Homo-oligomer: A and B are copies of this chain.
Amino acid sequence: MDKKQQIMDVAIELFAKRGYENTPISAICKHSNVSKGLAFHHFENKEGLLREVFLRMAQIIEEVGDNVDLVNEELSTKERFVSHLEKIFLSMTCAEHKLYYQFDFQVLCQPALRTLLKDLFDERYQLMLESFQSILNDIPSADSLVDSHMLIAELDGIALNYLFAEDEYPLTKIKQRFIKKHLLLLGL
């Protein structure tokens, strides 16, 4: 029964559901059956908890991607591109991660929090950019840098709209049109 882990698990959930500012430490403690003193024993302060929680969350999400990456040997550029996109769409639909992504956007859009975690965001964006560029570099008709920025932004937007739509969202159909559209643009 690792209390620290317990605290973080509850924190992720409550931060995502209620928002960081609206989640008092006391609520996290209550839900994880832990005293407030212990929470501050394990984490320097609320911001420290946020940082650790955010790191853990990013780590959990990335595990999905890692499993798929193994297949990506010996494929054509087109196949690699499509599989990369499919992978991203897949990770969106993973129900248990929905909360995590919602929290991610929440932090992204809140100036105070964003600043706090800027380094982590920048690092992730850079990784994302490079992974797209490494594929698009093989395609002459692509503007590898601009198109990578564009792809990231568009996928962000689709995720955002999907995640926060309470009624069902035509994600699968959008995915198909989205991929088709990009293959056309790239002349594949």
| Interfacial residues, chain A to chain B (CB-CB below 8 A) | 17-19, 21-22, 102, 105-106, 108-112, 114, 143, 145-147, 149-150, 152-162, 164, 169-170, 173-174, 177-178, 180-182, 184-185
Interface of A is mostly: helix
> Are A170 and B152 in touch, CB under 8 angstroms?
no
Find chain B residues with CB under 8 A from A105 CB: 109
Rounded to whole angstroms, the CA-CA distance of A15 and B174 in the bound complex is: 34
Q: Nearest 6 CB-CB pairs, A to B?
A: A157-B157, A21-B21, A156-B157, A154-B154, A153-B161, A181-B185
Rounded to whole angstroms, the CA-CA distance of A143 and B150 in the bound complex is: 22
Contact of A150 (CB < 8 Å), options: B108, B147, B152, B177? B177
A158 to chain B, nearest CB (A): 4
> Are A158 and B150 in touch, CB under 8 angstroms?
yes
> Are A177 and B21 in touch, CB under 8 angstroms?
no
For this chain, the copies found in one complex come to 2
> Are B153 and A157 in touch, CB under 8 angstroms?
yes
Find chain B residues with CB under 8 A from A185 CB: 177, 180-181, 184
Q: A174-B146, A181-B185 are in contact. Are A111 and B18 (CB under 8 A)?
A: yes
Find chain B residues with CB under 8 A from A152 CB: 157, 161
Q: Chain B: which residue is nearest A161 at the CB level?
A: B153
> Are B157 and A160 in touch, CB under 8 angstroms?
yes
Find chain B residues with CB under 8 A from A180 CB: 185
A111 to chain B, nearest CB (A): 6
> Are B146 and A170 in touch, CB under 8 angstroms?
yes
**Additional A-B contact list (5), CB under 8 Å, known A18-B111, A18-B112, A22-B112:** A150-B177, A153-B162, A155-B157, A160-B160, A181-B182
Q: A153-B157, A174-B150 are in contact. Are A22 and B19 (CB under 8 A)?
A: no
Find chain B residues with CB under 8 A from A110 CB: 19, 106, 109-110
